[in-house]
């Protein structure tokens, strides 16, 4: 629906929201594991990687939302319309594996947080995380997307408070922070962690989801001023949401660098919690654990939402959310029941996610740079060039992540 220009100042803030739902994927437990490990092992060294990854992710998320607004199709739908049925089924299989890997990270992270806070067994915590994520999705089904966006945005703010609370006690030295913004590495392990940060930042399911979120919220606006207005609002939406997500990720690394550098036993999330408790104070450590818990609950619901959108876009069929939730939840529950190291499971889930990144990024850049698909809103040549550079760079770095992880395991 076209927007009345006289109401733009009043409606601009109301139109924000889809990007904040997608941004939850950027502060999930996988990010916590990567960022805390980087800060604990290398101090402020890799802060620049978080900033660079956040800038890349901002462009990717904007292109995804733009595709949904201009074409009226989600990215899975747009891809499905371009390929034949056998290829579409194969594409769906890899996307479904990525969705399951996403659930592993979110559910395991939530289970770890519940164990820290309430001493619950990991399996029980995983089941609770799965149930709560389903309840969050029920809010959207019963009350609509706008309330769901407000709820997820509120949870994002809780996550931000949880991971920045320690700055009220001690703040990192400005000189060290500025030094961390200068691009450099220190050995192969820092390269591995940089690739892990990048892999945990640009998430395939968030790229798929944002196109559908923007389409479902705003429809397919008319070409010309109405569409340009919504695209402008979308840029603000993405910019604000990614600023919050990037700030939270940077805070995770800074907290680890300030309180955990040089300490033993910080290679796990439990160890990171113990380090905050011992070096700051127990209350701040509780905030840290609550931030982790909310990130697991919120990101699990957003991941399940993305999985449903992927299935509907590629298979042209809708499966009841409870059935989908049980399917994607099963691997995470089996991992928790087996007694497998939960922090290791988080790291390996990021490796699996890495396989799915090229399948999301390359079609996105190709579609948004195709005039037959986008019309007058086709990407500028500079945007397309930057988009291809980001897609190739992220894909190559994730290949490096996979190689170094496999080599380290042998």
pLDDT at 14: 60
Residue 317 domain flag: yes
Residue 128 domain flag: yes
Residue in the structure block whose two tokens are 């907290």 = 255
pLDDT in tens, the chain (410 residues): 444 433 444 455 666 789 999 999 888 887 888 888 888 889 999 999 999 999 999 999 999 999 999 999 999 999 999 999 899 999 999 988 888 888 888 899 999 999 999 999 999 999 999 999 888 888 887 877 888 888 998 999 999 999 888 888 878 899 999 999 999 888 777 887 887 787 667 888 899 999 999 998 888 888 888 899 999 999 999 999 999 999 999 999 998 888 887 666 666 788 888 888 888 889 989 999 999 999 989 988 888 888 888 988 998 887 777 777 777 788 889 999 998 888 778 777 777 777 788 899 999 999 999 999 999 999 999 999 999 999 998 888 777 777 766 676 55
Tell me the C-alpha distance between 37 and 193, whole Å. Answer: 8
Tell me the C-alpha distance between 174 and 240, whole Å. Answer: 24
Which ranges of 260-281 does DSSP label H, i.e. alpha helix?
Answer: 269-279
> What's the pTM value of the predicted model, to 2 decimals?
0.90
Q: Are 98 and 204 in contact (CB under 8 A)?
A: yes
Q: Are 56 and 213 in contact (CB under 8 A)?
A: no
Residue in the structure block whose two tokens are 């961390």 = 180
Residue 43 domain flag: yes
Instruction: Provide the total of helices (H) and of strands (E) in the chain, helices listed first.
Output: 18, 0
Q: What is the 3-state secondary structure (H, E, C) of 161-188?
A: HHHHHHHHCCCCCHHHHHHHCCCCCCCH
Tell me the C-alpha distance between 62 and 391, whole Å. Answer: 14
Residues 6+ apart with CB under 8 A from 218: 15, 69, 230
Question: Domain residues for 78?
Answer: 16-407
> What's the number of domains the chain is made of?
1
| Burial class (CB within 10 angstroms; exposed 0-12, middle 13-18, buried 19+) of 167 | middle
pLDDT at 6: 39
Residue 7 domain flag: no
HSE-up of residue 389 (Cα within 13 Å, Cβ side) = 10
Instruction: List, as one string, the DSSP characters of 78-114.
Output: HHHTTS-HHHHHHHHHHHHHHHHHHHHHHHHHHHHHH
Residue 11 domain flag: no
Residue 2 domain flag: no
Q: Torsion angle of alpha carbons 318, 319, 325, 326, nearest 10°?
A: -160
Q: What Cα–Cα distance (Å) separates residue 352 from each residue in 58, 104, 364? A: 22, 10, 20
Helix 282-315 vs helix 85-118: angle between axes, to the nearest 10 degrees? 160
CATH (domain of 70):
1.20.1740.10
* Tokens, residue 314: 């590629």
Residues 6+ apart with CB under 8 A from 116: 269, 270, 273, 289, 292
pLDDT at 2: 41
Q: Are 225 and 154 in contact (CB under 8 A)?
A: no
Q: Which secondary-structure segment (H or E) carries 192?
A: helix 188-201
Residues 6+ apart with CB under 8 A from 136: 148, 151, 152, 297, 298, 301
Q: Are 144 and 216 in contact (CB under 8 A)?
A: no
pLDDT at 260: 80
Residue 9 domain flag: no
Nearest to 250 by CA among 192, 149, 180, 340: 180
Which ranges of 316-380 does DSSP label H, i.e. alpha helix?
Answer: 321-338, 342-368, 371-374
Tell me the C-alpha distance between 61 and 151, whole Å. Answer: 20
Residue 353 domain flag: yes
Residue in the structure block whose two tokens are 């979308």 = 234
């Amino acid at each position: 629906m076209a927007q009345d220009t006289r109401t733009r100042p009043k409606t601009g803030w109301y139109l924000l929201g889809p990007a904040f739902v997608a941004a939850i994927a950027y502060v999930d437990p996988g990010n916590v594991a990567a960022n805390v490990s980087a800060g604990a092992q290398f101090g402020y060294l890799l802060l620049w990687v978080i900033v660079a990854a956040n800038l890349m992710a901002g462009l990717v998320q904007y292109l995804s939302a733009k595709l949904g607004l201009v074409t009226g199709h989600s990215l899975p739908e747009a891809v499905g319309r371009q390929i034949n049925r056998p290829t579409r089924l194969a594409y769906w299989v890899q996307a479904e594996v990525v969705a399951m890997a996403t659930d592993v990270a979110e559910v395991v992270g939530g289970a770890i947080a519940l164990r820290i806070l309430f001493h619950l067994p990991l399996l029980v915590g995983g089941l609770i995380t799965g149930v709560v994520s389903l309840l969050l999705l029920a809010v959207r089904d019963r009350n609509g997307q706008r309330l769901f966006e407000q709820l997820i945005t509120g949870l994002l703010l809780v996550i931000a408070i949880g991971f920045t609370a320690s700055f009220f006690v001690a703040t990192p030295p400005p000189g060290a922070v500025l030094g961390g913004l200068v691009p450099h590495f220190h050995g192969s392990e820092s390269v591995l962690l940089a690739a892990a940060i990048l892999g945990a930042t640009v998430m395939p399911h968030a790229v798929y989801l944002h196109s559908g979120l923007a389409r479902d919220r705003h429809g397919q606006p008319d070409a010309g001023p109405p569409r340009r207005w919504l695209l402008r609002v979308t840029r603000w939406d993405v910019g604000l949401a990614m600023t919050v997500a990037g700030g939270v990720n940077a805070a995770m690394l800074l907290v680890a660098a300030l309180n955990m550098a040089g300490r033993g036993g910080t290679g796990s999330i439990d160890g990171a919690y113990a380090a905050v408790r011992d070096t700051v104070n127990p209350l701040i450590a509780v905030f840290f654990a609550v931030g982790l818990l909310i990130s697991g609950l919120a990101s699990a619901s957003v991941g399940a939402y993305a999985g449903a959108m992927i299935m509907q876009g590629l298979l042209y069929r809708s499966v009841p959310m409870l059935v989908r939730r049980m399917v994607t939840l099963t691997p995470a529950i089996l991992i928790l029941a087996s007694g497998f190291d939960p922090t290791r499971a988080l790291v390996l889930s990021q490796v699996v996610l890495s396989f799915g990144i090229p399948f999301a990024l390359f079609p996105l850049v190709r579609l948004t740079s195709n005039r037959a698909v986008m019309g007058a809103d086709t990407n500028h040549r500079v945007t397309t060039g930057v988009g291809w550079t980001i897609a190739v760079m992220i894909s190559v770095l994730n290949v490096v992540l996979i190689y170094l992880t496999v080599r380290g395991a042998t």
